[in-house]
Amino acid sequence: MASKENELILLDFWASMFAMRVKIALAEKGITDYECREEDIVVSKSPFLLQMNPVHKKVPVLIHNGKPICESLIIVEYIDEVWNQTSPLLPTDPYLKSHAKFWADFVDKKVYPAQFKIWGKKEGSQEETKKEFIDILKTLEQELGDKCYFGGDNIGFVDIALIPYYSWFHTYEHFSGLSFEAECPHIIGWAKRCLLKDSVSSSLADMDKVLEAITEFRKFKGIA
C-alpha cells in the first residue's frame, strides 16, 4: 500500500482498455505501490465506485489521497503532471501537446466505437464496420509514419491511449475474420515494440482471456 501522504487506489476492470491506460502511465512513472480494486461493472458496481464517479459510474477511477480523478485520458495527464520528474508522457511545447491530445481524442472518438461494432454486433452485418475499422487504423499508421512510437523515441500519451486495444485484437480478428498483420503491418510492428516495455506488457490483459470473456459476454447478451 502507498504511504498515507501518497495513497493511490485504482478502481479497475481487468479487460478495460481505459483502465489499462492508467496502469501503463503509473508503471511508466515507476509507481507500483498502489491498490488495484477490481470492479464488477456488468452485474454489480461497488457503492465506492458510485461514490467516486457519481456522474459516469465507470472505471477507471484513480483516487489520490482520497480525491477521485475520472476519465482515463484526464487521469493519464494528471499522473504526468503530478509525477513530472521522470518519463514525460505529454510534450511541454503547447503545439506538440495539443497534437498529442488530438490523436488521443481521435482514438476515443473513432477506435472505441468502431471496435465495439466489431464484437458487439451479430456477425453478418459487418462489411462496412470492418472497412471503417481498418481505415481508422490506416489513418493512425499515417500519423505514426516512420517514428518508433507516436510519442517519438519514447512512448507517450497517444501510445498509451491506443496500445490497450491491442489486447483485444485477437477478439476483433476472431469475430470479423480480419488479419491485422496483413491489413496494417505498421500498427502491429508498433504494438510489438510497445510490448517490449515492461510498463506495457505488465499492464495489458491476456488476449486469450479477453476473447474468452467476450465470447461469454456475447452469449449473455444474446449476440452470439
Binding site for ligand GS8 (CB under 6 A): 13, 16, 18, 41, 57-60, 71-73
Minimum CB–partner distance for residue 13 and ligand GS8 (Å): 5
Q: Looking at beta carbons, which residue is closest to ligand GS8? A: 58
Minimum CB–partner distance for residue 9 and ligand GS8 (Å): 16
**In b/e form, how buried is each residue of 197-215, taking b as 16+ CB within 10 angstroms?**
bebbeebbbebeebbebbb
| 40 or 198: CB nearest ligand GS8 | 40
| 119 or 150: CB nearest ligand GS8 | 119
Peptide bond into 47 cis (omega under 30): no
Report the distance separating Cα 170 and Cα 110, nearest Å.
19
Q: In the beta sheet, which residues pair with residue 11? A: 37, 61
| 81 or 181: CB nearest ligand GS8 | 81
Ranges of H-type helices in 72-155? 72-82, 94-106, 112-119, 127-144
Which triple of cell numbers denotes residue 63?
483516487
Minimum CB–partner distance for residue 55 and ligand GS8 (Å): 11
Minimum CB–partner distance for residue 205 and ligand GS8 (Å): 11
